[in-house]
A and B are shown apart, each in its own frame.
Chain A
Amino acid sequence: MKGNEVIAEAAIRCGCDGYFGYPITPQSEVMETLMTLRPWEDSGMVVLQAESEIASIHMVYGAAGAGKRVMTSSSSPGISLMAEGISYMAGAELPCVIVNVQRGGPGLGTIQPSQADYNQATKGGGHGDYSLFVLAPASVQEMHDFVVLGFEMAFKYRNPVMILADGVIGQLMEKVELIDQRPRWTNEQIEEISGDWATTGKRSNRQKHVITSLEMDSNTMEQNNLRLQAKYNRMKDEEVRYESIECEDADYIMVAFGSAARICQKTVQIARRKGVKVGLIRPITLFPFPEKIIAEYATKVKGFLSVEFNAGQMVNDIRLAVNGKTQVEYFGRMGGIVPTPDEVELALEQRFNN
């Protein structure tokens, strides 16, 4: 199946209550697939084409506030339009899944693949101090799995989750194992899970529930900020996910996520055939970033190479984790160009003078 189609399949199967979206290349297949599968007839999942990405994210805001499992998907320019709404959701602590199948920018840019929204995804993107839980799939299977995991994390932390994919993974066709259909949550389950905050209608036995990010009292607002920061720190302590490939004996470690990591896997093989001990760390969560494992290897390796389809964004997080203990270099392509494994291997040689 195609990466984008799998997002739709996984959403239906994991019991998602609603999808609100707006067409944009290269991810329009998500909504097209949903409209073809007509989940409202079976699981009861709502699918709605909104008038804009702005409307989409605020529909998600309303439905998520009701304790429902809802999502949207878009690509880079559309995510920029959603940025305000995502900030509101983070501020109001609403769970949801947002898929960004990245394309090249800035501006209208290109419809070809890119990873240039790394900073936008991991450093906020909208206004205010907030973080998303960011998952970076590197396969069609992970496109599927991260929808399921994404909803789990979204409700565990009452926080928006972003699946930061790219045009390669979105358009890639691979075999995938789908989960069995799960039912949507019943009203009783929603009451149990989100009964202390969701807008399900005020009963006489409880206070009214208000979904808002607004607080006029500075002291209370600072407490809200501190509560959010504590939550993000909990994610850092408990939810870091990464894949480590042939790092144990490595002299050099590449760090790459998503489709860049697929290419680097091949580069590991090419370099090792040439006798250069190269490993790969693939961050699966971009926030929380796997800084501890990078810091551990910083004292053992001669250098890190960050490989990204952008001008060098994640490399700054690697430098922070390495904290000057070893050399950190960047290699990347932009404009929708996907480098070959040999090109990456050549960059390794050049950066570290092998």
Chain B
Amino acid sequence: MSVLTERINEIIKPENLVYAKSPLLNDDAMHYCPGCSHGVVHRLIAEVIEEMGIQEQTIGVSPVGCAVFAYNYIDIDWAEAAHGRAPAVATGIKRVMPEKYVFSYQGDGDLAAIGTAETLHAINRGENIVMIFINNAIYGMTGGQMAPTTLIGQITATTPNGRNADLNGYPLKITELIAQLPGAAYVTRQSVQTPAAVRKAKKAIRKAFEIQAKKIGTSFVEVVSTCSSGWKLTPVASNKWMEENMFPQYPLGDLKDSGRADADLYRIKG
């Protein structure tokens, strides 16, 4: 038994458990840093897939970035996409197997920088997929460089004096952008820093997967997230920093819940 497992077992006792681990999550120790939001979102996805009973019909697409190894933790079939291309990979899977549930899982650099074209066009085609977007305003995997969503003034490895709009442009509100597209059926922004927020985020993910079955367009769930290592803050301080700095720039809530109505305006009549 590893030291890690021993220490975990000291903490995890039946009387301390408030929820059970989804059988879709395996026992591999996640590689994520303490305080990272990825682990919580992984759990919510696993729970939703389990509760909907769609494990045999679901294919996940993992990105390049911290979540590249998402396939190690959730017990479903996966395709690991090249950097930024997860929406294209998900499109390919869904188009040849329209009866399956397909979701992509991407960070801010993957989804909103290198993969912006794939993101916009997959949603603009109204691909019947779920897109999960982890926005922690930094590149975690490569060591804390500026992301498209990095806040003005935020210090990163490539903005050591803080992000400067003249030099680096502005925080990209890609979720607001894609909410304009007729192909988007459901666009929401969530967070997972409190039990209440986690419950809301899970509801949103569940709704996104349910919309996929209706074949009315893309569901997009942004999760405003923490990156303790990249931000160089403790997990607790990260949550506070996120609430104070990220939420004003990226306000939580549904941005769009139009179902098919928006797309119907463009449909050929007759």
Interface on A for B, CB 8 Å cutoff?
A: 17-18, 20, 46, 48, 50-52, 54-56, 58-66, 68, 70, 84-85, 88, 92, 199-204, 208-214
Contact = CB atoms under 8 A, between A and B. Distances in A.
Interface string B239-258: 00000000000000000000
Contacts of A210: 71, 77-80
Interface residues of B, number: 31
User: Per DSSP, are chain A's interface residues mostly helix, strand or loop, or mixed?
Assistant: mixed
A58 B61 CA distance: 12
Contacts of B203: none
A62 B82 contact: no
B95 A59 contact: yes
Contacts of B55: 201-202
Interface stretch (B83-91, B180-188, B213-221, B261-269): B83-91
Interface of B: 55-59, 61, 68, 71, 75-82, 85, 88-93, 95-97, 100, 117-118, 120-121
A62 B92 contact: yes
Contact of B93 (A65, A92, A202, A209): A65
Q: Which of A59, A92, A209 has most chain B Cβ within 10 Å?
A: A59
Contact of B118 (A20, A55, A65, A204): A55
B56 A62 contact: no
A214 B89 CA distance: 16
Contacts of A211: 78-80
A95 to B, nearest CB: 13
Contacts, number: 123
13 contacts: A17-B96, A18-B96, A56-B88, A61-B82, A62-B79, A66-B96, A68-B97, A199-B77, A199-B78, A202-B76, A208-B76, A210-B78, A212-B71
B76 A61 contact: no
A214 B58 CA distance: 21
Given A208-B78, A209-B77, A210-B80, A51 B121 contact: yes
Q: Which of B57, B68, B82, B121 has most chain A Cβ within 10 Å?
A: B82
User: Per DSSP, are chain B's interface residues mostly helix, strand or loop, or mixed?
Assistant: helix
B117 A52 contact: yes
Nearest to B55: A202
B88 A50 contact: yes
Nearest to B100: A201
Nearest to A47: B95
Contacts of B90: 62
Contacts of A64: 92
Given A59-B89, A62-B89, A208 B82 contact: no
Nearest to B56: A201
A261 to B, nearest CB: 35
Given A18-B92, A59-B89, A202-B56, A51 B78 contact: no
Contacts of B82: 58, 61, 84-85, 88
Contacts of B85: 54-55, 58, 61, 85
A200 B77 contact: yes
A81 B95 CA distance: 22
Contacts of B58: 201
Q: 8 closest Cβ contacts across the A-B interface?
A: A62-B92, A59-B92, A212-B80, A62-B89, A58-B88, A51-B121, A63-B92, A58-B85
Contacts of A55: 85, 88, 91, 117-118, 121
